[in-house]
Amino acid sequence: MNGRGFVLWFTGLSGAGKSTLAERVGTELRRRGLAVEILDGDEVRENLSKGLGFSKEDRDTNVRRIAFVANLLAKHGVVAITAAISPYRAIRDEARALASAPFVEIHVDASLAVVEKRDIKGLYAKARARLVPNMTGVDDPYEAPLAPEVVVRTGDETIDQSVDRIVAYLASRGLTSSV
Amino acid sequence: MNGRGFVLWFTGLSGAGKSTLAERVGTELRRRGLAVEILDGDEVRENLSKGLGFSKEDRDTNVRRIAFVANLLAKHGVVAITAAISPYRAIRDEARALASAPFVEIHVDASLAVVEKRDIKGLYAKARARLVPNMTGVDDPYEAPLAPEVVVRTGDETIDQSVDRIVAYLASRGLTSSV
C-alpha cells in the first residue's frame, strides 16, 4: 500500500497561485516519500470535461468529476492535489462529503485587485474587454470557503511562506509521513 | 507504494459478462494483496460522462476518460479494471498507448445470439423494438480486438473457467503478486 492518502483541495481565483502551490507542495510531499498526483484545472478540463463550458452547471459538473477522481486516488493511498477554481461552496462541500479519506481545503486567498494586476494568462484583461465571458471574480461569483483548513494570502506572503504553512498544517495532522 | 499497477481492460458486448468477470477477478486479486479499483461502464458514465450519449464521438470521449482515470490509478500501483463495452478498436488502442503501466486487454467474446438470449438488462429487446437506439451489436458496430491478451468465450465456458484463465494469464506475467 501507499501511505495514507488524502485530498488536498486548492480553491481560489484564477491567478491566485493554486497551480504553483500545488506543484510546490507536491514536490515537498514526494520528497517525504508520498505518492502524489496533481489534478490541475486546465489538464482535467482537457481530459475529463472537454465540451463543458463555464456556466454554473458545467462548472459544477467539472468539479464533481475532479472530486470523483481525487477520491479514487486518495482511497488508494495517493495524495490527490486539486487545483481548480472550484468557485461554488456547495460543490466543494459535496466533494468533502464524498471523500473517504481526509479532505484538506486550502483557500488561496488573493484579492481581485491582486490577481488582476498579475493577470498571468491575460484573462482578466480579456474579461474586462468582454472577450472572455463568465470570468470568476468579474462576471461570475467566487464563494470563499467558510471553514477551510488553511488560508494562504498570496498577495501578502511569499510562495515559500505559503508552502511552509501548508506543509506544517499537514504535518500537524500526521499527513506528511508515508507510514 | 502499492504493488505493480496495471490496467485490466475488459471489452465486449453488453451482457457478455464484463462486469461479472471484473468483480470476480478483482476479488481474486484483492485476496492476493493487490489494490484494485473497478471502473464499471455504468458507474463511470454517471460520474464522468453524464450528458454524453452513444454516438461514436460520445462513446469515444467516454472511453478516453476511462482510460485517463485507469492510467492515473495504475501508475500509482493500483490494478485498474475497466468494464465498458468500448466498441471501437482505435480508442482501445489509444488507451493502450497512453498507459504508463502494463495494459491487459480481455475480449469477453459472446455472440450476439448468446447475449441477446440472456438480455439481462432487457436492452436487446428494446433495441429490436427500436426503443433503444445505438445498441452495440444491433445498430452500432462492435470491433473485436485483433490481439487481445486473453479471449474468454462466456457462451462456451463457465464464469469460474474464465476467471481462472484470466488470473493464470496475469500470474504468467508476474502481475498477481503485490511485490
Structural domains of chain A, with CATH: 6-172 (3.40.50.300)
Q: Is the pLDDT of residue B2 over 80?
A: no
Q: Is the pLDDT of residue A1 over 60?
A: no
Q: What pLDDT is attached to residue B4?
A: 85
- Average pLDDT of A57-66? 94
- Average pLDDT of A104-124? 95
Partners of residue B91 in chain A, C-beta under 8 Å: none
A86 is catalytic: yes
Q: Is the pLDDT of residue A3 over 80?
A: no
Query: Of the residues B14, B19, B86, B162, which is catalytic?
Result: B86
Q: What pLDDT is attached to residue B42?
A: 84
Q: What pLDDT is attached to residue B99?
A: 95
Q: What ipTM describes this predicted complex?
A: 0.90
Maximum separation of any 2 CA atoms in chain B, in Å? 51
* Pairwise CB contact (< 8 Å): B69 & A72: yes
Q: What angle do CA A148, A142, A99 make, to 5 degrees?
A: 40
Which of the pair, B2 or B92, is modelled with greater confidence?
A: B92
Strand arrangement, sheet containing B6-11: B36-40, B79-83, B6-11, B103-108, B150-152
Residue of A nearest to B69 (CA): A69
| Cα–Cα distance, A16 to A39 (Å, whole number) | 17
Question: To the nearest whole number, what is the mean pLDDT of chain A?
Answer: 94
Q: In chain B, what percentage of residues exceed pLDDT 70?
A: 98
- Give the pLDDT confidence of A68-79 residue by residue, as tens digits: 999 999 999 999
Query: Of the residues A14, A49, A86, A162, which is catalytic?
Result: A86
Q: What pLDDT is attached to residue B3?
A: 72
Q: Is the pLDDT of residue A176 over 70?
A: yes
Residues of A contacting chain B (CB within 8 angstroms): 1-2, 35, 37, 47-48, 50-51, 61, 64-65, 68-69, 72-73, 76-78
* Pairwise CB contact (< 8 Å): B76 & A72: no
Residue B36, judged by CB atoms within 10 A of its CB (0-12, 13-18, 19+), counts as buried
Task: Label residue B43 by pLDDT band (50, 70, 90).
Answer: confident
Maximum separation of any 2 CA atoms in chain A, in Å? 51
Q: Is the pLDDT of residue A41 over 90?
A: no
How far, CA to CA in Å, does B165 sit from each of A50, A169, B38, B151, B154? 38, 49, 19, 9, 12
From the list A1, A50, A61, which residue is nearest B35 (CB)? Answer: A1
Partners of residue A1 in chain B, C-beta under 8 Å: 1-2, 35
> Residues A119, A120, A124, A129: is their CA dihedral positive or negative?
positive
Partners of residue B61 in chain A, C-beta under 8 Å: 50-51
* Pairwise CB contact (< 8 Å): B68 & A77: no
- Residues contacting residue A111 through CB under 8 Å, at least 6 positions apart: A155
Residue B127 to chain A, least CA–CA distance (Å): 28
Q: Is the pLDDT of residue B1 over 60?
A: no
Top residue of B72, B75, B178 to mutate, by most chain A CBs within 10 Å, is B72
| Cα–Cα distance, B10 to B20 (Å, whole number) | 11
Q: Is the pLDDT of residue A11 over 80?
A: yes
- Residues contacting residue A148 through CB under 8 Å, at least 6 positions apart: A11, A105, A106, A107
Interstrand relation of B6-11 and B103-108 (parallel, antiparallel or unpaired): parallel
Which of the pair, A59 or B42, is modelled with greater confidence?
A: A59
